[in-house]
Amino acid sequence: MSYQENATDLGDGEVAALLFEYMPKIAAEHKTDSLLVLMANLGRQIVQADRCSLWLIDEEKNELWTKVAHGVDELRIPLSAGFVGYSLKTGQPVLVDDAYQDSRFDRRSDIKSGYHTTSVMTMPLESDDRVMGVFQAINKVGDNVFFSKKDLERLKLISVYSAKTIESAIRAEALERYAKQLEIKAEELKSAHMELIRILGEVSEFRSHEVGDHIHRVAEISLKLARYYGLSPEEQELIYYVAPLHDLGKVGIPDMILNKAGRLTPEEFSKMKSHSEIGRTLLRESKTDLLCMGADIAGAHHERWDGSGYPDGLKGEQIPLPARICAVADVLDALASPRCYKPAWSEDRVKEEMKNSGGTHFQPELIDILMEHWDEFYSCYKPGGMFIKKGLLPPVQ
């Protein structure tokens, strides 16, 4: 069936009206496929064709393709095929009254689709002095059965506009694909970075007979504290991923001290305390936010709110906030879980110790948060709690 049974050639005013009708639609569309449909519809109406299609070059497959040959599915043809291939090769338009009388006509499309091509126009799509495709109109409809030179001029007008618009869309889509690839690569790098940090944190626990999952429990508790403290999601994420580095400096502590079951001598305790400075030294030269925060946590998680901690005797807000948060999580986990030198404390005893340490060992506001949400925090350590479910604590016997 013809596109317009009783169509007559449009006047210049009607052509202008169609252009103004389509321009806002085209300007609002950024997807190449949708633009091809709009451009083909515009061309079909302006030159009064039964079918219009925009063929674009697929450089990877060395073919021409179109998704807007009206009434048919996607088509692909060799670069040299038919009138379209001729225009692509020569950069010249084609105006033919009877395709079957022209040796350049490729009949395979008609044979495949059952369509009968008669009159044909093609116009190269040129952008930046290169041909990127071909605009094709097939079978004039209405009172005139052949395309005219005026039709060819109008097709050229549409082709110039189409080429620039489609080229912009293709570039935008290419940039979008590139941006997505960069985003994927960035996520892959981030994941690799996080995995390395996790492994680095586990190095400090690997040599200890204590439960190696301590660092992950500290990370979980630190995340909860950071969230209730009101830190941004980005800051929460940073703390969660670098909290496992708090004891990284223990890689420099002898095994006989790390794994000693009894109380440490003053000399041994002095050596043990040096892990804070060792950890900070290992991380402080980093240029990344993650490891800079890791250096703060490793170096200051044994500082105390009242200034009596180590290694620098920092007091109050002199202590970096991530270290203050991690300190609470570290001590809570040390008391609530078994260690090589002690069994886990009872819940009441842990709660009382943490509560009494507010304002001396820990920032009071952080202890207020811990007490306000105690059941949520401590439920992690109970039978059936998160830590046992995640395999971060051995099941209660």
Distances (CA, A) of 374 to 199, 378, 381, 382: 30, 6, 11, 12
* Residues identified as active-site: 250
Residue among 325, 324, 348, 343 at smallest CA distance from 211: 343
Spell out the residues 6+ positions from residue 70 whose beta carbon is closer than 8 angstroms to its own.
3, 40, 44, 51, 52, 53
Would you give the distance in Å from CA 221 to the centre of its chain?
A: 28
Q: 120 - beta bridge partners? A: 96, 138
Spell out the residues 6+ positions from residue 246 whose beta carbon is closer than 8 angstroms to its own.
201, 215, 218, 279, 297, 298, 301, 326, 330
Residue 141 to residue 49: CA distance in whole angstroms? 6
Q: Is the dihedral of CA 73, 79, 85, 91 positive or negative?
A: positive
